[in-house]
Amino acid sequence: QVQLVESGGGLVQAGGSLRLSCAASGLTFSRNAMGWFRQAPGKEREFVARISAGVAYYADSVKGRFTISRDNAKNTVYLQLNSLKPEDTAVYYCAAGPLYSGSYYTQLRSYNTWGQGTQVTVSS
């Protein structure tokens, strides 16, 4: 059974930092692209970051503040969140998908496995 389990969310003040983790099981981790998405109340789920074949991609809104990384030996992907803003408040989801998705890597359809999400709340 393929499973992704996120952790590390919480409440933090603006300007603070958090590190999210996503532990994967039941899949060949190194053969999957890993992504992070987020969904704020009343909004659609949006792309945050992706790491695939050693290359990282970021949404413009988080570029320079967030860093995605992975440890294939631990089957875990991380998202370091720095300089957090209240608008970063959302449920953050981990996702896994095929290594190559062309220009569609920001789209939900490029991922076939999702975690349950972890809440990040940034107070002003």
pLDDT at position 103 is 82
Going by C-beta distance under 8 Å and a sequence separation of 6 or more, which residues neighbour residue 123?
11, 12, 13, 14, 86
Antiparallel, parallel or unpaired: β 66-71 and 76-81 = antiparallel
| Predicted confidence (pLDDT) per residue in 22-37, tens digit | 999 999 999 999 999 9
pLDDT value of position 101 = 82
Q: What is the pLDDT of residues 94-111, one digit of tens each?
A: 999 998 888 899 999 999
